[in-house]
Amino acid sequence: MIFMRFDLNPMMNPKSVAVIGASRDPSKVGHVILQNYIDAGFDGALYPVNKNISKGEKIIGQTAYRSVTEIKKPIDLAVIAVPAPAVPEVLEECGKAKVKTAVVISGGFAEVGNVELQNKIVEIAKKYNIAMLGPNCLGIMDPASKVDTLFLPTYKLSRPKIGDVSFVSQSGAVGSTILDLIAKEGFGLAKFISYGNAAYIDETDLLEYLMHDKQTKVIVMYIEGIKRGKEFIEVAKKVSKVKPVIVIKGGITEEGAQAAHSHTASLAGNSEAYEAVFKQFGFIRAKDLDDLLYFAKVFSSEDLPKGNRVAVITNGGGTGVLTTDAIYINGLKLADFSEETKKELRKVMPSIVNIRNPLDLAGDADEKRYSDALSIISKDENVDMIIVIVLFQTPGADSSVAEKLIYFKKNIDKPMVAISTGADYTQTHKLMMESSGLPVYDSPNAAASSLAELYKYWKYKNKIV
């Protein structure tokens, strides 16, 4: 058994934050970070720190200090955004001020070959017992506690709403891209942690922290390398029994591994070994960023199924065929409707509808036809999961259909996802459904592969081979 090396609560839920390197210049990283805290409505104490200001000056309306040692009040978190050579002195001052945690945004350490400087700040963090994240990172964001160390302004990077997916990323660029997409897709975020070079706090510490975090239902990770392999395995054994972990590994090729080392000083390691660990401990493996987003969406919103039998309801025959292919390609199968289900469907469906799975409601399907189909099929014990296809280009598909799907999503106890492909009108309704908790996918394979991962995780938790 291993024990958590750091108390990360003061970092993730601070009552007081010092932004070291805060500036009046809007182009400076420290200015953006301070502004983000203000824009987020952070209700704790906020202290800008800049050694070049005069006593009593203000930065963005906040009284500024020349050093954290001048503040004379408890500081939970220091966000450090100064040039790399100045970081040791700043961190030393944080230690003397009894700062509990620090996020070092600054780059210019081991990722550019400056290992000695990185080792120096680690030694200082150890000396003063400072839980230090970074360096060379974006840091953290928590919509609930209104913490936002990201130096990317809100007009460039949308901030997701409060949710239950936590995302850990070794790469700031990958992390910021996914954050933007999460905000666009409409599902929420619990915590975002970009940890960069992992000089002190590493992926194992963060994984264990999120395992215990009550806000986090789903853990998503982008990793390039693992520093403490044995300890990571010990945590992995425990976490996937409690929460799903979706992971994408960067640096699976020799060239990719070299690229990883050049930007976060990460030793990527043997990809087959990582694959074996992920599979053994039930991690959900994403092959690309699309997978990462698709899987996070379904695990956030859906309960686990009790089998792999899928019902398909569609208003487009061809899309139903493609969805059938995707279901079998991804290791699922079509459900066999019970005789009672077929009987009830024949009572309410027009004669042009062939009573079978996939159930093609025809191109003129409206809110009532979708409602009748869902109310019957959702009760069929032969059905474990439901895919509803809505092509909003057809005459009967409008906002009333979207509203009906939202209603059923909230009132049935089986995983249900939708497929809607199209431009502006479709995207409007897609956002409408997703913001209400119904996962919507643009393609049959995206929907089927996401449900397949949900089913695989159910099998892992229930020890089904």
Q: Report the mean per-residue pLDDT for the chain.
A: 93
Q: How far apart are CA 229 and CA 264, in angstroms?
A: 18
pLDDT in tens, 112-123: 999 999 999 999
* H or E element at residue 246: strand 245-249
**For residue 129, what are the contacts with CB-CB under 8 A and spacing of at least 6?**
none
Residue 253 has pLDDT above 80, yes or no: no
CB 12 within 8 A of CB 142: yes
Report the SS3 class of residue 207: helix
The pLDDT, as a whole number, for residue 3 is: 57
The pLDDT, as a whole number, for residue 263 is: 42
The pLDDT, as a whole number, for residue 204 is: 96
The pLDDT, as a whole number, for residue 203 is: 96
246 bridge partner residues: 220, 284
> Residue 260 — very low, low, confident or very high, per pLDDT cuts 50/70/90?
very low
When mean pLDDT is compared across 96-100, 201-205, 435-439, 453-457, the lowest value belongs to 435-439
Write out the DSSP string of 345-409: HHHHS-TTS--SSSEE--TT--HHHHHHHHHHHTT-TT-SEEEEE--TTSTT-SHHHHHHHHHHH
Structure tokens at 151: 């130096």
pLDDT in tens, 202-252: 999 999 999 999 999 999 999 988 999 999 999 999 999 999 999 999 865
Q: Is 214 exposed, middle or buried (0-12, 13-18, 19+ CB in 10 A)?
A: exposed
pLDDT in tens, 126-148: 999 999 999 999 999 999 999 99
Q: How far apart are CA 465 and CA 462, in angstroms?
A: 9
Calculate what percentage of the chain has a pLDDT beyond 90: 85
Structure tokens at 460: 């892992």
The pLDDT, as a whole number, for residue 465 is: 62
249 bridge partner residues: 223
When mean pLDDT is compared across 119-133, 247-261, 302-316, the lowest value belongs to 247-261
Q: What is the mean pLDDT of residues 360-389?
A: 98
Structure tokens at 137: 């990172």
Q: How far apart are CA 309 and CA 322, in angstroms?
A: 17
The pLDDT, as a whole number, for residue 272 is: 83
CB 184 within 8 A of CB 255: no
Q: What domains appear along the chain, each with residue ranges and CATH number? A: 1-137 (3.40.50.720), 157-301 (3.40.50.261), 303-461 (3.40.50.261)
The pLDDT, as a whole number, for residue 154 is: 79
Which of the pair, 300 or 252, is modelled with greater confidence? 300
Q: Please give the single-letter amino acid code of residue 405.
A: L
pLDDT in tens, 392-439: 999 999 999 999 999 999 999 999 999 999 999 999 999 999 989 999
139 bridge partner residues: 194
The pLDDT, as a whole number, for residue 186 is: 75
Q: How far apart are CA 283 and CA 157, in angstroms?
A: 29
Q: Among 116, 47, 107, which Cα is nearest to 83's?
A: 107
pLDDT in tens, 161-188: 999 999 999 998 898 988 888 887 778 9
